[in-house]
Amino acid sequence: MAGFTHFDENGRPHMVDVSAKPETERFAAARGFVRMDEATLALVRSGLTSKGDVARIAELAGTMAAKRTADLIPLCHPLPLTAVSVAVEPDESLPGLAVTAEARTTGRTGVEMEALTAVAVACLTIYDMLKSGARGMTIERIELTHKSGGASGGWQRE
């Protein structure tokens, strides 16, 4: 299983030992999109959905999810997050909603999974809140957009 650090020499899964790594400032940003018809997007913009303010509730759900990433992703280290922000904004070009998340910590491992989990759960929350009238929505392109810190340094999606 060469190249995969979450497996030992016998192929058994294990949490990677990061105890010897230095603590550094870590940052990650991610994004995703929920595509919907224009009428559904207009409903979200109006704030008149039966379940409340879709964007603000999805932002809160994403933030809460980032804090629970280690409970959701096997072998993911629990991290003391120092900041998480999630934003849900209308995107007329889809049409739909664009979701972005940023996560920060000072630690021995990165926060990419926390940012990605925040986006994924925010997108799922949007779907859940609107599904009764718009089951044809799609969740698209959840992706890391930027990371910094650690031995591998920075990375930016082009």
Residues noted as catalytic: 128
Angle of CA points 27, 28, 31, to nearest 5°: 155
**DSSP state letter for 109:** S
Residue 116 token pair: 């990605």
- Contact (CB, 8 A) for 81 and 103: yes
Q: How far apart (Å, rounded) are the C-alpha atoms in residues 4 and 15?
A: 11
